[in-house]
């Protein structure tokens, strides 16, 4: 795995939590390398495994941007396609927990679509398990694709999309059969908008992305060929049609790390109650392999029961899987279609079996992460001294702004980030700062874990606009870990933006 920070001479402070963790990543990369050789037609693949004992483990291969030739990078975002339905379902379950709706409510209790066949009798649950019988404008015979591909700048309204369901009639009576429908999922997004009073993109951010600290995830309701997405794993079809034409059914964009983290937090019970997770993962009446916008892959076929979703859209192929036996999630994202579908499924199987076999043999650490296991502090939560200047130029910083000291030779500025009340364990500290080569390469960073203090050097000239691992630290129960950035002696402008602390493992 690529080291990002200039570690200076910090020795054992920056060793991996265990040799096994290094072995696991190396094996994951080797499995991907081997499988990719048979995956013809796909430019690049990225994998993230979110674990209770090793944090996020990344592997990648191939070309991440077919326009520039850049290789796949950890910060690259992919169109996750129909995995968006899983995101929307998690949001709906959260809205149910907050009392804003119930999945057994009639859709018409929250949104009336004039002329929609069976619109007065279908339920939210039926939209989620694809038994509502709503016509599918993406896969049905109609003029959607001819219009959408002819004008990738066309913004689609909810009324336009629902008109396809109105004009083409119902597929069947609600609740009587399973029929996968992107239009039904699109309608679910309209229900969310009606219930929350927010655009779907804002509702996902407020209720899902922000609480789960998914900083590299968003609903794409704005990009087009002239307004591209930063750090997208681009392919030739990335902007072939405007994603307002699919929205809740397929418009989420995210990094592999965010996708895996989302699945593990949602299905692992860190975000929703066990009752909500059970509802999502229980077989529906008309399809034993599908719950509430969640696929169910049985243990009899695959060795271990697991849940998640797949996605295919605009040249992107994806899958996310959560394995409850090991509390591990796996996200596999690609920016192309395989010439032979079986080679794609072989890659998925090989990675899945590698991860599950590894955990079956090694048993992880036997450690359960504490309920609060991923913390982010923005500069607004830091203790500041000196004359920092607030700046919000560009979109490469974390949160609404960052702090800048353009004259580190004059006075001393400091920003202390205090992570308090920590659970006992090993924690990984990471730093975030905007991308700018004019920043200092020798920024002083002091880390105090309550038992000892260590001065490190942070290089802010490179690897900006992403989380950069600083090191792992053992802390006692209830302890505070402090990270302090200081400007004194720096050889360029110093930035204070955000710091992140993630639980890695229990103490021996």
In this prediction, residue 162 carries a pLDDT of: 98
Whether residue 338 sits in one domain with residue 439: no
Is residue 53 in a domain?
Answer: no
Residue 150 to residues 172, 234, 244, 335: CA-CA distances in angstroms?
31, 20, 15, 22
Does residue 502 carry a pLDDT above 80? yes
Task: Classify residue 42: in a domain, yes or no.
Answer: no
Position 20 pLDDT exceeds 70 = no
- Between CA 365 and CA 372, with CA 370 as vertex, the angle to 5 degrees is 140
Ordered strands of the 494-496 beta sheet: 389-391, 402-405, 494-496
pLDDT tens digits, 375-416: 999 999 999 999 899 988 765 778 788 999 877 777 789 999
Chain segment 320-367, per-residue pLDDT in tens? 999 999 999 999 999 999 999 999 999 999 999 999 999 998 875 556
Give the domain CATH number at 424.
Answer: 2.60.120.260
Q: Across the chain, what does the average pLDDT equal?
A: 91
Identify whether 59 is part of a domain.
no
Q: Which pLDDT tens digit goes with each residue over 163-210?
A: 999 999 999 999 999 999 999 999 999 999 999 999 999 999 999 999
State the average pLDDT over residues 229-245.
98
Q: Residues 266-289: what's their mean pLDDT? A: 94
Does residue 312 have a pLDDT over 90?
yes
Residue 86 to residue 88: CA distance in whole angstroms: 5
Structural domain containing residue 488: 368-505
Q: For residue 102, is it within any domain?
A: yes
Cα 392 to Cα 296, 381, 401, 404, 435: the distances in Å are 44, 16, 4, 10, 13
The domain that contains 221 carries what CATH number? 3.40.710.10
Per-residue pLDDT tens digits for 63-118: 999 999 999 999 999 999 999 999 999 999 999 999 999 999 999 999 999 999 99
Percent of residues, the chain, with pLDDT higher than 90? 79
Structure confidence at residue 399 (pLDDT):
79
Number of domains into which the chain is organized: 2
Please report whether residue 406 resides in a domain: yes
């Amino acid at each position: 795995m690529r080291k990002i920070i200039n570690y200076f001479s910090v020795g054992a402070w920056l060793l991996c939590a265990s040799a096994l963790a290094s072995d696991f990543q190396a094996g994951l990369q080797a499995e991907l390398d081997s499988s990719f050789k048979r995956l013809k037609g796909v430019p690049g693949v990225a994998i993230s495994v979110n674990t209770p004992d090793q944090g996020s483990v990344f592997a990648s291969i191939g070309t991440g941007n077919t326009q520039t030739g850049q290789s796949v990078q950890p910060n690259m975002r992919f169109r996750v396609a129909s995995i968006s339905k899983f995101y929307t379902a998690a949001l709906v379950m959260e809205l149910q927990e907050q009392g804003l709706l119930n999945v057994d409510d009639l859709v018409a209790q929250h949104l009336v679509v004039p002329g929609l066949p069976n619109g007065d009798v279908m339920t939210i649950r039926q939209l989620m398990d694809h038994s509502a019988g709503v016509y599918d404008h993406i896969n049905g015979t109609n003029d959607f694709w001819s219009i959408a591909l002819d004008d990738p700048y066309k913004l689609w309204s909810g009324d336009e999309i629902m008109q396809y369901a109105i004009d083409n009639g119902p597929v069947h009576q609600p609740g009587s059969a399973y029929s996968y429908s992107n239009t039904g999922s699109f309608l679910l997004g309209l229900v969310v908008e009606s219930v929350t009073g927010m655009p779907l993109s804002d509702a996902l951010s407020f209720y899902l992305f922000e609480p789960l600290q998914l900083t590299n995830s968003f609903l794409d309701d704005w990009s087009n060929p002239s307004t591209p997405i930063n750090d997208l794993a681009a392919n030739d079809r990335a902007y072939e049609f405007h994603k307002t034409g699919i929205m809740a059914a397929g418009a989420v964009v995210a990094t592999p790390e965010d996708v895996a983290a989302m699945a593990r937090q949602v299905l692992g019970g860190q975000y929703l109650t066990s009752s909500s997770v059970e509802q999502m993962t229980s077989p529906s009446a008309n399809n034993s392999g599908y719950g509430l916008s969640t696929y169910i892959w049985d243990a009899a076929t695959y060795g271990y029961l697991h849940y998640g979703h797949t996605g295919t859209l605009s040249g992107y192929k994806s899958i996310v899987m959560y394995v409850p036996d090991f509390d591990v999630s796996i996200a596999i994202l690609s920016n192309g279609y395989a010439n032979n579908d079986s080679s794609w499924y072989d890659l998925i199987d090989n990675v899945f079996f590698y991860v599950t076999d590894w955990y079956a043999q090694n048993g992880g650490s036997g450690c359960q992460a504490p309920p609060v296991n991923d913390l982010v502090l923005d500069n607004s939560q830091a203790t500041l001294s000196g004359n920092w200047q607030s700046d919000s130029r560009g979109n490469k910083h974390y949160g609404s702004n960052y702090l800048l000291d353009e004259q580190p030779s004059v006075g001393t500025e400091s920003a202390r980030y205090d992570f308090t009340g920590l659970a006992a364990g090993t924690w990984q500290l990471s730093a975030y700062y905007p991308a700018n080569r004019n920043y200092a390469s020798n920024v002083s960073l002091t880390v105090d874990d309550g038992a000892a203090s260590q001065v490190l050097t942070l290089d802010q000239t490179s690897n900006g606009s992403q989380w950069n691992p600083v090191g792992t630290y053992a802390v006692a129960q209830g302890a505070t870990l402090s990270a302090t950035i200081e400007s004194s002696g720096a050889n360029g402008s110093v930035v204070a933006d955000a710091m992140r602390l993630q639980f890695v493992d229990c103490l021996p």
